Amino acid sequence: MARDGTATKARIIKAASRLFYTDGIRAVSVDAVAEKAGVTKKTLYYHFRSKDDLVTAYLQARDQPNLDAFRRWFDEADGGLGDKVFAIFDGVARAARRPSWRGCGFLRTAGELANQPGHPAIKAGVAHKKRFEAWLAGECSEAGLTAPEVAARRLVILMDGAFAGSLIHRDPDYIIEAGHAARLLIATTGRSR
């Protein structure tokens, strides 16, 4: 019977994701990930050259599901752009009410690797944040905002601040307040149409 390397790799990433998100990347050893995934350390290193590669894969695996959730909350909301953007913040606040919530994995990883700006996991985090910002800029442009890129950047800053405030205070209402600020930002931004 042939081994399914793709399934094994996915199992390792899933185990790493649970451990890294819950405990942080520095606190979790490669041994712990291998044990949680039910593989040997040798098998883990067959799929990932280093812990750095595994941390990067963990963030890359979070990228699309997070963006999909933001888009879904946005698309399902009624109202104009401000209401739809607020829905993203509201969705994050609902997630933050779960006991397992630990904030933004991208920001937490960036904090742990702050002294390594060229780390591939930092680059994965930057790519995620830029994709979110570009999508928001497209939505802002479609809604007729005069400076959609500026508005999108400000919205990302509000979201990242919401993540930080909520995590520090253990209070999802910080995310809701940032959502109200985002709605106000949109309402007071000039429109080209």
Sorted by where each starts, the structural domains of the chain and their CATH numbers stand as: 1-48 (1.10.10.60), 52-187 (1.10.357.10)
pLDDT at 193: 58
Q: Amino acid identity, residue 25? A: I
Nearest residue to 107 (alpha-carbon basis) of 124, 90, 94 = 124
pLDDT at 3: 60
pLDDT at 1: 39
Consecutive H or E run containing 31: helix 30-37
Nearest residue to 49 (alpha-carbon basis) of 107, 22, 9 = 9
Nearest residue to 189 (alpha-carbon basis) of 133, 137, 151, 135 = 151
CA distance linking residue 193 with residue 190, whole number of Å: 9
Q: Are 89 and 178 in contact (CB under 8 A)?
A: yes
Which tokens in the block code for residue 159?
Answer: 């979201």
Q: What is the pLDDT along the chain (193 residues), one digit of tens a residue?
A: 346 678 999 999 999 999 999 999 999 999 999 999 999 999 999 999 999 999 999 999 999 999 999 999 999 999 999 999 999 999 999 999 999 999 999 999 999 999 999 999 999 999 999 999 999 999 999 999 999 999 999 999 999 999 999 999 999 999 999 999 999 999 998 777 5
- What is the pTM (predicted TM-score) of this model? 0.92
pLDDT at 99: 93
CA distance linking residue 2 with residue 105, whole number of Å: 35
